[in-house]
Structure 1
Amino acid sequence: MKEPIDDIEAWSQKLSPWRQDALRRLAISDQLTDNDFADLMAMIKDEAGFKLETPAPSAVPFNKSHFGGANRTPVTLKKISNVQNVNRLAANAELEFCPNALTVVYGRNGSGKSGFVRILRTACRTRVENPAKLKVLSDVYGGGTDPQSANIIIDTGNGETPIPWTTGMTAAPELSQISVFDTLSAQIYVDSGNQIRYLPFGLALPHRLNGACLKLKENFDAERETTVGNKVSLTTIMFPIQRETKSQLFDKALNKDSSDNAIEVAATFSTADQERLDEVIAILSASAAAVADLTSLIGWVQAVASECEIAATAFSDSALTGFTTLWKSAVTARQTAQLSASALFTDEPLPGVGSESWRALWAAARDYSVKEAYVGADFPVTEAASCVLCQQPLLPAGTERMQRFKNYIDDTLDVAAAKAEKAVSDAADTLPALTHLSADGFSERVEQIRQRDPKLADALSCFQVSATQRREEAAARLTGDDSAPVSALVSPHAELKELARNLGDEKDKRVKAGEAQERERLASEKAELEDKKILAANREKLVTRRDLLETDAAFEKASAELQTTGITRRANELVDSHLTNAVVTRFDDERGRFDIMHLKVGLSRKSGQTKAEFEVDPQTKLTKVTSEILSEGEQRALALAGFLTEVALTEGSGPIIVDDPVSSLDRDRSARVAERLAEEACQRQVIVFTHDIIFFNELCGAAENKGIEPVTIALFGDKEAAGKIDPAGMIWKGLNVSKRIGKLKNDFAPLPKLLTTSPADYEYQVKNLYGRLRDTYERVVEEVIFRDIVRRGTDVIKTQELRYVTLSDALAIRFHEGMTRANTYSHDNPASDTVGIPQPDDFTADIAALEKLVADLQAASKSAEAARPQMKPKKY
């Protein structure tokens, strides 16, 4: 089968020069620099026809010799230090990792494991891309406002390098080789597929070329926006009248190919052109003025005719009589209301109730009451209230009086009087204004009419005087004064309308009269000259627009060069040819390791422009995501299979960080995960966080079986903070026999000196050590004698390990004697001192005896296995 790089080299020969050069640069380096992008943009501009100030660099065709494979510098995660304001982690918290093989971080719930994982999850590579999900909180109980920060220490072969971390920061490229798996990303592996972010075997090149194209397109779009943007619209030439002149047609047809000469010819307006324009305007203006005067006169005559007709009706004899009657009705209604008030209020202390001034006083008092004194209450307020005028408490007589006044105001007679007065006011407001009859130019217009109809001019003048007089009389009658005589009112509006029709006919004749074709020709010539003059005044706009259109067309051509469809298609073909089978095979292998092959789940490729993605396919017609079909444990096992497939097929062998990998898993699969992670630790740096002590022991045991000495760290939290490292090391339950013996030796080292200063403290502490010695003897039974065939807390039985099990009488006696001594000194003894306090030499001898017993048990186990005949499975 061909190597992928051979296929890429053959395919590249069909690409444009700049694309070949981009492939060459991408093959040499993971990421293009700003200078690389500037060079590539210059090459594209050269191909697209830009006018470059400096020559574009020469493109170098891609060939296989340029491809050096993955030059990625291996990264080792050394530690996290100087943690500040992250969750409940202690200030300046620090966590150091084994630079190779396996680090196991154990801690109970709330010990701070998640805080460290969240820092690494935001800084390193994770499938979680939602910023809200990646947000790292400060101590919600502490109330601190200091910024969140930490240092992530890595080693790329040149010593330790600190990378400052803050929440929300852009991830450092060096940390992209470190992969993080936790509960949050597990859901994405199940439902979103296994995404290969760094494709192996050179397959990344087409995807990286797509990425370069997209970045270049972004750069070109930004430059296009700055260079062209909406500037074309700013070169629009505003012609007062839109018409089909040569100048306007040239303006509309202007494009990137318009020559300087064409613009020069179209936008030249000479002195002779200006003289001809002035001549044509003079010719057309002579008759145009007459038509304009007629048009204006017609409009005035029509307006005056309408005004005369309105005035004849509004100021007629019957109308004037009506105004007098209207005013008298209002006076009578008010007098009637006042007489009613006089009859009603004869016994009031003061006269004039119901008069005009009294009613004004009542209205003012009402406004004061409802707006200020008793806001929101109906006027008058009489219960437990004060008078709004004298502001003294209202007595019963005053309350009754105010109620009588209110009843009067609400009475029908007063309401009718107010309505009649309102009718008089409305009539005065609606009297016609006689705008045209009283205008300053009225006399001049009458003289224009007199030239055509003297009798009509006299009639209009008389009507103007009579109408003005009658309007003044109408206003007077609405106030009660009707003593002035009025002249007769005869409106000439019918004659005026007839004149307007005649004037219209005259105008039409003037327009149609004379040399119509010649006037049309002159008007067309005038339009051409006017628009040419405008075009000449905006010649620079034409040149600027042509240049902008030329540049925009070049950008359009460059943009077409940056299409990624063909690259994406070829990239997918290469992935299918060289990788898809490897991904699916690896995924199935990982599923087999976790005993989930019974699940009808597979992978299907779903590639994008810049990456290849393999989506989990639940292989069901139901429109459900995988997480809605599988159990919690199956989801976790499937997610781990996806994660391990991804890291196995990505470039390099960067560290992996796994948080709580056995959540919801049964003990059988938990042991499988431990074995698989131990195996992975032989290939790369592996860091595991767990709160499961059984899994911790399984993982450490699996690592030791692989010849790896795992580094273990115990975290704990208290009321003050979390993320504290237990200086004593791993909790006792997490220590195997060898480490327990080592810890017993370390803890015993200061006791001989303590015996000389405080025998009581010595007795207390040595008794505790013998209790731990007894625990170690019990663990020897499980771990050494029975080879972890059956372990407490698990349901796994390793039956094939039975070939190692043996226990001679001599070894059994030694075990019994050692266990007896441990029990004797660890149990509570009688106060009669029948059992003495063990001396330092006694404890040293007991430890040595245990060490020798373990070594002999292991040797006997190996001898027993070697002495047994090789067992072969029977065939049935």
Structure 2
Amino acid sequence: MTLVEEIISWSDGLNDWQRDALRRLFLQESLTANDIDELIAMVKETYGGGPSAPVRPDLLTQAHVPGAGSGATVQLIEISNFKHVNGFPTSRQPVKFESSGLTVLFGENGAGKSGYARILKNACRARSREDVKPDAFGPTTSGPRVPSAEISVFVDGNSQRVQWTQGGPSNPNLSMISVYDAACARHYVEKEGSPAFLPYGLGQLNRMAAAQKEMQRRITAERDAIVLNARVFEPLKGATAVGAMISTLGPDTVLSALRALGTLTAEDSGRIKDLDQLLQELNPEPKAKSLDRLAERLTLATERSQKAQRFVSDAALAKGKALCEAEQAAKAAYEIAQQQLQGTDRPEQPDTLLLGTGNAIWKALYDAAEKFSAAHAYLDHPFPNTEEGAKCVLCQMELAPDARRRMRRFAEFVAGQAANNAAVAEEALRKALSTIAEANFAPLDSPTMTELQSFDPEMYSDIDAATTAWSARRQWLQDAIKNNDWTSPIPLLPLGDALDARLQAKVQKLRLTATALRQSVNPATRAPLETELRELKARQSLTVLLPQASQFVADSVRRRELDRCYAALNPQGVSTKMTTLAKAHVTSALAAAMNKELAYLEYRRRVHPELTGRTDQGNTFVALRIKDSALDAHLVLSEGEQRALALALFLAEVRSLPHQSAVIFDDPSTSLDHRYRRNMAKSIVALATERQVLVFTHDAVFLTEIDHALRKANQKAYYKSVGWDAAPGNVVDGLTWETMNCKMRLEEIENLAKAIKESSGDYMGEENAKRVAEGYSKLRGTIERAVREEFMNNTVQPFSNVVSVDSFGAVIGHPQEEWDAVMDVYDRACEATEAHDTPAEHQLPIPVPEQLIRDIKTICEQIAKAKTRRSAFESERSKRNAQRKKPFLVG
């Protein structure tokens, strides 16, 4: 059983929301915020007593997972019957593929190549895929335009046609086809910037564990936002039925019983009144307790009054006035200093200074000049240097007498304390005003004042009069400072003792009264009446707090439900399964296969992936180690190198599959440098000897590398070109002229020449003459390419800084007569090329088609001779290399 198949089987035992989360992670890169919201709603429905989730769980199945297919060997044969695919017309011809070996589809950007690639990515459930788009310029009023196509395949050698529709169910046979592109590489790079690689499937479990942690974080935030404050119910506790229920108030409290206790009938209220009156006559304790409680509150009011009185006493008001006057005096001194600086105090010696001189910005400029003078210009002289011949440190001109006088005045101004004194005085006044404005002038809260108004009207009046006077005196001080007017009369404080003294006297009186009441208790047995009254009064108090108590119970239930959700989101089960899967599938064999692929890519030899057994919160990785380096791998490896590692792991996985299904590469060389591009081509060519391989590319350089690898391996490929006719997506066999090799070009030119010959008759008309000229123009370019590829044995190549010294041996020995034959044809091609046109009086005739055919034959013969020499050279080189490997012979 493969890794992904084991994950699918294991997921059958998971909760529905987990199976839905896994499905999403196999279909997309990561979970979005909306995904998290929908999954949390499912969890709350299951564990948190929440409503039905708006989105029902869509359970993970085999159809959602790339590579989890039928297990058969599948080859692609054809794609046809395109509907609403990009800008493809419905009449677009089928695209056929060879069932084995390498098929390359080459097309420039915008040619329609991506349309075919996206069909296959979606149909084959690639790990990273985008929806196929309908024609962006097509009609929008004809109903839904759902992309679709038919795909023909061989399944274990049997022909089968599959209908693919965007968004429809996937065919399990097509899922056996593996797809790789640059986006696919991201599925192997588990952490951004950190080269930790995972086989496909473990990464999804990693992200699922991370998603569960994120959902736990969200649940925790929601739970912590529910504040349970039981202190408000403290007065209800005691030896009563209400007290017993309040002491255990929580999620298990029965709300109906709580509401029954908190509901009093008219009969209950009357009974409280009767019992209260009866027991007050016989027991003074309640009255004494009431006096004690009031005394405690008035004690607090005494402390608050003492603090408030300090801010509005006569001494405090006088201090406020003194601060104001000090601030004004400091300002006046500062203004005089400013006048002295500006010279306005000497009308007979006017000295006009720039606007702003003396302000903070000017002061900063002065300080900078002083630092420069002390550090560089005049190291041993105090600033400013006003001696004869001294220069200004800014303009560096010699100071005139009036300038020296001005500089001395500047120094006197800066050295003075007027500015600093003004700032200090202003800050002191501001802080005093702020403290007075924030003072609390309410010694008692409103409920206590209301109670006091009925219990002790005289004390109520004393407090009200005092607080009114405090506020008036504070307002007087604020107005006097604001308007600088101290002439208005100061509001008077109430006559007699200050409020704190009156409150303290009242407290002492209340405590003495309470003591006297207790001393007069008649110790008769009234326990049944007291118990009944206590129970009724507790229920009466509960009626006031019943809404809060009911909400407390509801909040407690909600917190417990969220705790259950939090526990259900524990990722430990996922982490444990990951560890088990990693032991079974992240094996030394996989690491060895990955190293083998890396070696084939000629990756950095000092970088080796190995199984270190590293576990990060349950996540097992194939970690990288760099020999003899103290730095982490991600600090050494480029993005392209990390992508090379991802490709190596992909190839290792493909070769470990128990079937030989096709592999598709879509622009695989993205973000890789030329060395990996070349060796990637070699790896793809090697893979094509084992199974069907399709390559979609727009990279002409990569195409050249594939051709080079094919030639080295003595293999062939099937080329197709994607381009435009009246619309994108037109596929033709072979390559475009620019990407053909010499052999392909010569075959095309020969076919052109034969066609011209057949249509010419006895006289070659102007149109055919132009076609012959076109043929010679192509022949000229082909000869130039043949010089590089055939005669020079690819010693140098375009788009490459590599010079193959080893290949140059086949160039040696090229006979002069053979080269003369090539030059004869080349000269004729130059003469026939429009780019080498001549004046009309010297116009040379265009060669006839038969001559073009003969010239093509000549070039083919010369290329064949070059190949013969190359074969002989390769044979001699092989013998020489074999001889080098023999040990020395001892006589």
Output the TM-score relative to the length of structure 1.
0.49
Higher relative contact order (CA 8 A, sep 6+): 1
Larger Rg over CA atoms = 1
Task: Give the TM-score normalised by structure 2.
Answer: 0.49
